[in-house]
Structure formats: C-alpha cells, structure tokens
Structure 1
Amino acid sequence: MPEAAFAALLAAVVGALGGLLAPRVIARLPEPDPAPGGPGGVVTDGEAGHGVPVPVPAEAPRPPKVPYADLAARPGLGARLALISAVLAGALGWQLGLDPALPLWVGFAVLGVTLSYVDWHTRLLPKRLVLPAYPVAVLLALLAAGLAGDTAVLARAAAGWAIVSTLYVLLWLIAPRGIGYGDVRLSGLLGIALGVLGWAELLVGTYATFVVGAVGGLALGALGLVDRKAFPFGPFMALGAWSGAMLGPALAGWWA
C-alpha cells in the first residue's frame, strides 16, 4: 500500500475513534457560571466572550445556553462527529503522509471538530477542552521534532504560538466584540500546529482563518443561519488551520 494511502487510512481510523468518544467528553464538561439576572444581564463566562462582564442589550437578550449534557445526547452525534473527524484526518494523512507531525494534526482535527460543534450551538469554546490540549500539543511537537531530528520544528512551533496568539490578543483589544477571549485562548494551538509543519502553512493557515470566517459568516448570514454581527468563530478557526495544513505549500509555491 502506498505511504499516502496507508497514512490516510490510519489517520481516518484514529480520527473516527476520537469522534466517537467526543460526545462522552462533551457530556462531562462543567457548565459555565450562569449570567446574573438572566436575559439582559451580563455574560461573565470567559470561554465565550471577553473574560470580563459584558452588557447584553435588553432588546437582544442572549438565548439560553443548551446544556452540554443535552448537546452530547443528540441522536447520532457520535457517528456524525466520527465521520467528519475521519474525513478531515484522512485528508491530512493523504497530504502529509507518515510525517512526524501527523499525530499532532490528527488530534487537532478531532479537537477542532468537537470544539466547532460546541461553539456552533453555544458560542462557547470550553477552556476545559482547550487548556489541556496545550501540554498535549507541546508533547506532540516535541515528538515530531525528535522523529524528524530537526530542532527547527520546535522553533517554528514556539514562534507560531507567539505570533498567532499575539495577533489574536491585539484583535481582541482593538475589536473585543469581534473576537472573543475563547478565540484568543484557542489561537495558540493553531500557531503550534501550523508552526510544526512550516512557515508556509503558518502563514496560509492564519490568513485562511479570517478569509474563511469572513466569507462563511457573510454566506451563512445571508441564509439567515447566523447573526452576521455575532457568530461563532471557532469553526472557522479550525477550518482555516486545516486549510493551511492542506494547501500551505501549494499556495506558497504558486505565490512564489
């Protein structure tokens, strides 16, 4: 079996298993602190917005949050998440082959699908999923560097973490209603994963996040599926990073 096909099959199987387990993880997430006063009150959960109390206009109250247990219990969820994770991870396997970075990216694919599902339905990126992913990502980056015998992998991962996180922090400070603190918290993982692959992937993946978010937000807003002024950005971050991993070298070569 060709290496690319074997890597794709292996990544798809691992991704599917991760997707099947995702509902169990979602069901065990602790609920965020309720907003005082209910509708028209304030949002205090740093996973969603800004980490500080943010007034919610009375004329546009925040809809009640769907409990994580209810999200996890939806029929067929495990199969759907498994299918999406398998497709995305399998495509990465085909593109990367048996690259030392493949374990990191298969894990990122499963995490991205899980976070996207939660964020889409709650507009929250739970820190209980995001924060523990950092040490795992660092360990997998170390593994990739060790297998490749190249310390530049770690340098790029560290630089990607710093660059992408700084970019999101600046955007959050400049336009806090456009970027939530949950997005800032997630951004470092994108930087690590993309940096491990290369500078082209880091550049393309970071840029693609905003392009996909802008185009997708406008399209979904025109269809009435989201509020164009307040839609979950997590799914677009995950998809943009995945696009960078898949298309980064080709686009960089075309641009050169």
Structure 2
Amino acid sequence: MPIVLSALLAGLLAAVSPLLLARLPEPTAEPDDDMPPKIPYADLAAVPRLGLWLALPAAALGAVAAATISEPRLLPVWIPIAAATPVLAWVDWKVHLLPYLIVSRLYVVSWLLIGVSALWMQDASVLLHALIGNVAVFGFYFLLAVLGPMGYGDVRLSAVVGVGLGPLGLVATYYGVFFGLCIGAVVGLVLVRGRIGQRIPIAFGPYLLLGAFASLWV
C-alpha cells in the first residue's frame, strides 16, 4: 500500500507541474553569449501530454522511495522530490537552467515534511540529521561551483537532496553524492566525446537527483 500511494501521489503532483512551469517568470539575468536563446517556460510547458510523460517517471521514483526506505515515516519528503525530479530534468535538459522558484519551493516543502516526520516519530534528531545533510551536501557542491563549472542552480538543488538524505544516515548521504557525480561524469564523457576543447553545457540537475534515488538502494 505505501508503494502504491507514494507512486500515485508523486505521479499526480508531477502531472500538474506543467501548470506551475507555464506560470514561472522568465529569468532577468543576461543570457550567456555561448548559449542558444532560452526557450520560454510557457513553451516548455505546452508540449502535448507533458503531464503524462512527467507523471510516469515521477510515479516510478515514488515507488522506488517507498520500496527502499526502511522507515516509512521518513518517506513523505521523498514524494515531492520524486514529483519534481522529472520537471526539473525536463527544464534543465532543454535550457540548462534549474528554475529558482521550483527549487526554492521544493526546499521549503522538504523542510516542512521533515518536520512532520520528526513529530510523527517523536525524534528531534531527524531535524538535526536533515540539517547536517543539508549543510554537508550543499557545502560540497558549493565548493565544486567555486572551483569548477558547476552551476549555482545545481548547488541550490543539492540542499534539497541533503535534507532528504540526511535522516537516512551518513552512508545514504555519501552514496547520494557519489552516485550523482558518477552518473553526471559518465554522461558528460559521452557528450564531450570527440569534442574536446569545446564548451559543451551539461545539465547536472537530473543526475544529482537520480544519484539520490540510487543511493536509497544501498
């Protein structure tokens, strides 16, 4: 039952995410000269049957979370993360940008649901572990952004991943970061193959999120 319910909720949330995407204001920052013109959010949201295509992977991720998280009271935070993963991946792949208004709302919702889990379990350490995961994962990706080409949208998203992974333990948090980097590295090598020296934009957000879900199996 938790697997079915988690999949259903994640899928339903993802199915309506194009409505939010269509209403996002466009970024005000000057576009990068090396990047193609940005596709408007409204155009990205207008793709036929987009809600269905986003709902299917979201439901699958929700089911994965429910099937692999041993403490079901820590599951609620992973449902909106599962729901947001496909739409964030879609936007990041198309325009190499993670919308601030989606990531920031997801961050707030994640903390609210972690608070619900802590109350449900009557265990304040859940909040402490979420905070440690938040700071550790965010700090690691912030350092990558300072030292390399990591975008700050990915850094903001990493804080959400840290909040979800922290209460699951140090091992899950470590592997969440490790798997995300591995998936991103493999895809990056494929994309730049034969084009060394060229600037090839890589949407890292989807791999960051997929790495987090992959770590749930550990």
TM-score range, shorter chain: over 0.9
Closer, same or farther in 2 for the Cα pair 1:67/1:202, shift >3 Å? same
8 Å CA contact 2:114, 2:130 repeated in 1: yes
Structure with larger Rg: 1
Q: Deviation per CA, 1:57-84: give whole Å up to 9, x if none.
A: xxxx310111111100101111100111
What is the aligned partner in structure 2 of residue 163 from structure 1?
Answer: 136
C-alpha distance in 2 between matches for 1:106 and 1:211:
24
Deviates more, 1:227-236 or 1:158-167: 227-236
Cα deviations by residue, 1:74-106 (Å, 9 ceiling, x for unpaired): 011111001110111112112226611211001
Compared CA separation, residues 76 and 165, structure 1 to 2 (3 A): same
What residue is the counterpart of 2:23 in the other structure?
28
Aligned residues: CA RMSD: 1.9
| Matched position secondary structure for 1:103 | coil
| Residue type at the aligned position of 1:183 | D
Residue in 1 that maps onto 2:40: 67
SS of the residue corresponding to residue 247 of structure 1 reads coil
Aligned residue pairs total 216
Change in Cα spacing, 1:174 to 1:220, as seen in structure 2 (3 Å) is closer
In structure 2, the residue matched to 1:247 is: 217
Runs of 4+ off more than 6 Å:
none
Question: Deviation digits for residues 111-152 of structure 1, max 9, x if unmatched?
Answer: 122111111111111111111222211111111112222222
1:130 to 95, 98, 103: 103
Contact 1:217 1:228 in 2 (8 A): no
Query: Is the CA contact 2:64–2:213 (under 8 Å) kept in the aligned structure 1?
Result: no
Tell me the alpha carbon deviations over residues 27-66 of structure 1, each in whole angstroms, 9 at most, x when there is no partner.
011111263xxxxxx53xxxxxxxxxxxx4xxxx310111
The structure carrying a bigger helix percent of its residues is 2
Quote the Cα distance in structure 2 between the aligned partners of 1:247 and 1:20. 26
> Per-residue deviation at 1:167?
0.8
After superposition, the C-alpha distances for 1:144-191 in whole angstroms (9 at most, x for unaligned) are 11222222211110001111111111111111xx20111111111111
Instruction: Pick closer, same or farther for the CA change 1:149–1:223 going to 2, 3 Å.
Output: farther
Percent of aligned positions that are identical: 38
Length-normalised TM-score, structure 1: 0.79
Q: TM-score, normalised by structure 2?
A: 0.92
- Alpha-carbon shift at residue 219 of structure 1 (Å): 2.9
The residue number in structure 2 matching 1:15 is: 10
Map 1:198-209; keep pairs closer than 5 Å: 198-209=169-180
Letter of the 2:66 partner, please give it: G
Residue in 1 aligned with 2:166? 195
Unaligned runs of 5+ in 2: none
